[in-house]
Structure 1
């Protein structure tokens, strides 16, 4: 496996372990760099942590003493650690560079790098790009916020291999020299203000995906997003737009076809993924891979067979004329409104979850096609009130996902859509949104 060559720092602090910190520490140790680890709750008896210690890592647990910065030249921090952390604030005072592990991946990967960011749709778009390149029988690896640590994946990539990586604003904020060959900027909504504090800070973090690009590189961007377009005067890369509104440039679509510039790619009716949001993701992926020279046949094959990333408007199955979709990742009103706009058929909506005090008033206009609602979790009663305001007469409150699916099926008729799109986080009843979605899928398959 590859290691860092000519790395200019001799002593590095890895702040926060988890997957990304463990991978970064392992890479640094293998590269002959002296490593100190600071993690509040690290279990030194865990095999992965014990291996780092056995290789010479110095580890400090149970607190964040400022002394962990003594003799440190570089800090690799876990993306989720805020910049108000005392260690980070002190590192800034001492003018020590602070990065996330994707900066290390940029040092390692020698081939083409495609990076994807946006407030919504990152995982689906990253997966589509990866699958399209793979279908074209080109060497490709996938990494980043999609579940595979970038600096770990980059250790085994080759110079002729494309690496596709999904990146959050947290990860991008910790970059200095990171430079994708092709960057993809999907959209820009209000998000993560508890971390970034202001919308401007959040937007600037996202814009770092193209900050180091040159005229040899490409930015694929959403031409329908005015906030993204406001950054274009600063961009040095070649610009390739995608749009569901404008025609003729970059990737676009009319009522019948998907195009790249003036070239027809495929018929829209043959695409498995549903919804306007997914169409944007598809067009972004098409633009990225066409820039990369991928054949239309490979694009078409993926779009005819790809049923979606798990828990993101994922088609589950058809039973007795009913279509079941798992959108457990819809943990806010915006995501659920996008899901509801994806269907022309009547919808039985399964919704509810953790109560964060959010008003559901803005969900009401999007419930026009909903014929029945099954609600659960802490927000169940508030969801029932929302259904009443939308004029939905068929409603029921349940305790379990099995009950929810059974009741939804009883409300349904042939050609209806039964949709799990909760508009709430899952932590009141489930450990993760994935667990919630898996329970839905299990209940659907057990339906008699």
Structure 2
């Protein structure tokens, strides 16, 4: 069997390793350059690879192709493969049949990284043999090659879910839905929603789907579509018979007569959205039979996620917050909702089809100045110039932080929450966040 891997990053190299272990004839091809570290791994495993090109004839001879999540379906080589009837799948789909234990799959527009890390943290503290993969950490495929008996918590993007056929998580979580990556879905929000719900398409009556019952789009999808999974909702506004809800500032999580109570003020990470993330993690822990005391302790000693509402420093009584991971409007909505001080907001980057209207009330109420950090800031300027008096443009993090520190007064917050992808000025959202932290710590 010939396996061709498109893309020489974490998921591509992991798939190549697993494929080789399982007896496939493996060839890896990347249209760009491959990092030195990955080349060394491939050479060490005796896996053939190429970079800065695609040998089309050879690729088209594949029996199965694993496409890295960053490669869109519109790319010519993918179109050619599909028209020839070659199966093109994601790393998750390729690795899943070789896993000997369950996976917990987590998706959503926002909160999925926090929920994934939090769920993994709780289960690990309970002493379970549990790995973490997907959009985060080491590749799922490589970990299955090394530890097939482990259970895994997987953070799954819509792109990874686009490439599944048989993958089935025992427990699936959909944290929420808001327009994101619409450039990859022909600017059709419904296509993106349907991609997220692929997480439950193969689930059976023995599996569970945990979801946000306050989310209009999730409710709508569940009304109009069927899943066989047992539905387990969580909510901040309704009292539920099964699932998790709020009562007198306590999370009450109920699964089949078993309930656990957690005071919200004991949760280490702040904000309403993190109460929801904690609800989802608690429900998983209950299904995995974790002791109540362990769940409570784990939620109270969890550190949070780098680049997500990360308090960097206080300088001259001004708080600097790094929320570089906020690459869409909904994520920035949570950030602005959670700050309680006059705010200088650093925003901008590559717009993925954003509608800024839902931020208006927070911007009007809390934002005293906007610093645009992107190559094209027109849309942001048009959206907010009527409600914010001070709007400045900059094309480097150094200038953005310097301007913010000059404008900020005691008691203010400087918030980097870009709403956009980072690729115009930075390598990644991590690079953008790291540069922000570096500049703040120089002040």
Determine the C-alpha separation between the residues in 1 that align with 2:398 and 2:178: 34
- What CA deviation, in whole Å up to 9, does each residue of 1:140-190 have, x standing for no partner? 11101113211112223353x321010111111111211111111112222
Distance 1:215 1:263, change over 3 A: same
Number of the residue aligned with 2:63? 73
Determine the C-alpha separation between the residues in 1 that align with 2:396 and 2:408: 19
Number of the residue aligned with 1:351? 346
- Structure 1 position 94 matched with structure 2 position 89: no
Distance 1:228 1:66, change over 3 A: same
* C-alpha deviation, 1:284, in angstroms: 1.6
Distance 1:226 1:168, change over 3 A: same
Conserved? CA contact 2:19–2:26, under 8 Å: yes
Number of the residue aligned with 2:170? 181
Conserved? CA contact 2:15–2:95, under 8 Å: no
Conserved? CA contact 1:374–1:398, under 8 Å: no
Number of the residue aligned with 1:4? none
* C-alpha deviation, 1:376, in angstroms: 4.1
- What CA deviation, in whole Å up to 9, does each residue of 1:380-425 have, x standing for no partner? 78767766522x5566666754564465456556654332223344
Determine the C-alpha separation between the residues in 2 that align with 1:22 and 1:431: 20
- Structure 1 position 373 matched with structure 2 position 369: yes
Conserved? CA contact 1:173–1:205, under 8 Å: yes
- Structure 1 position 29 matched with structure 2 position 26: no
CA RMSD between the two structures: 3.1
Determine the C-alpha separation between the residues in 1 that align with 2:180 and 2:367: 31
Aligned mate of 1:389, from 370, 386, 389 = 386
Q: Which structure 1 segments of 5+ residues have no match?
A: 1-9
Aligned residues: 434
- Structure 1 position 267 matched with structure 2 position 256: no
- Structure 1 position 296 matched with structure 2 position 292: yes
- Structure 1 position 432 matched with structure 2 position 417: no
Determine the C-alpha separation between the residues in 2 that align with 1:187 and 1:78: 24
Number of the residue aligned with 1:244? 236
Determine the C-alpha separation between the residues in 2 that align with 1:296 and 1:321: 39
Conserved? CA contact 2:268–2:300, under 8 Å: yes
* C-alpha deviation, 1:86, in angstroms: 3.2
Q: Which structure 2 segments of 5+ residues have no match?
A: none
- Structure 1 position 442 matched with structure 2 position 438: yes
Conserved? CA contact 2:348–2:380, under 8 Å: no
Conserved? CA contact 2:213–2:234, under 8 Å: yes
Distance 1:39 1:229, change over 3 A: same
Number of the residue aligned with 2:2? 11
* C-alpha deviation, 1:441, in angstroms: 2.1
* C-alpha deviation, 1:341, in angstroms: 0.9
Aligned mate of 1:196, from 162, 178, 185 = 185
Conserved? CA contact 1:348–1:408, under 8 Å: no
Query: TM (normalized to structure 2)?
Result: 0.86
